[in-house]
A and B are shown apart, each in its own frame.
Chain A
């Protein structure tokens, strides 16, 4: 138990589906992140939220849409994904923007 919980743990979706990934934190942290980890590639930062405001969008395609409704929850809305979007999606949180980040268990996404 890391204090950062991601659901679902596994997701298979078709290219025309719409789905959402959820991240919930119980650490009282102010910053939340979405990362993508593909096979044999480094962790790719997607989005950063600080105090519920988006501070980084790392040139992510619009088929990925983040939402941070409150300081405890972060969502990643997915629509019309491509097979190359299949990856491990990781949520992380940190007390502040200059401190260490703690990761959830990840959602393994497969796009078919």
Chain B
């Protein structure tokens, strides 16, 4: 079992729709979870961090965490063509050594 799993996509949504990106993780004791956006040829850019169960909203982005189900999601409301990118889910290991494990990423395409 992979430590962090994401559907590689591509996920295609029309402009203005809600894009829903999902991630599962295997380390039951993990406490820190992150979403990064990576444009082609660029480095990953942090867009959300979440540490507690429930929802966390920041502008058009909402991160959702369910530790019991070992599940993290990212919702993007009013999707724009500029949101087209690869979205990476990352989980800090419970080992407290700083180990940050990434999923393979989900490619999002927002069609005008």
Question: Is B97 touching A98 in the complex (CB atoms < 8 A)?
Answer: no
Q: How large is the interface on A (under 10, 10 to 19, 20 to 34, 35 or more residues)?
A: 20 to 34
A51 and B13 alpha carbons, distance in the complex (Å): 43
Within A3-52, the residues touching B (CB, 8 Å) are 31, 33, 35, 41-43, 45, 48, 50
Residues of B contacting A58 in the complex (Cβ-Cβ under 8 angstroms): 99
Q: Which residue of A lies closest to B96 (CB)?
A: A97
Assess the B45–A103 pair: CB atoms within 8 A. Answer: yes
Q: Which of B25-62 contact A (CB under 8 A)?
A: 31-32, 34, 42-46, 49
Instruction: Tell me if B112 counts as interface (CB < 8 A to partner A).
Output: no
Return chain B residues, CB-CB under 8 Å to A110: none
Count the B residues whose beta carbon is within 8 Å of the partner chain — how many?
23
Q: B49, A100: Cβ atoms under 8 Å?
A: yes
Q: Mark B89-100, 1 if CB is under 8 A from A, else 0.
A: 010100011111
Query: In the complex, which of the residues A35, A45, A102, A104 contacts B46, with contact meaning CB atoms closer than 8 Å?
Result: A102
| A interface, CB within 8 angstroms of B | 2, 31, 33, 35, 41-43, 45, 48, 50, 55-56, 58, 88, 90, 92, 94, 97-106
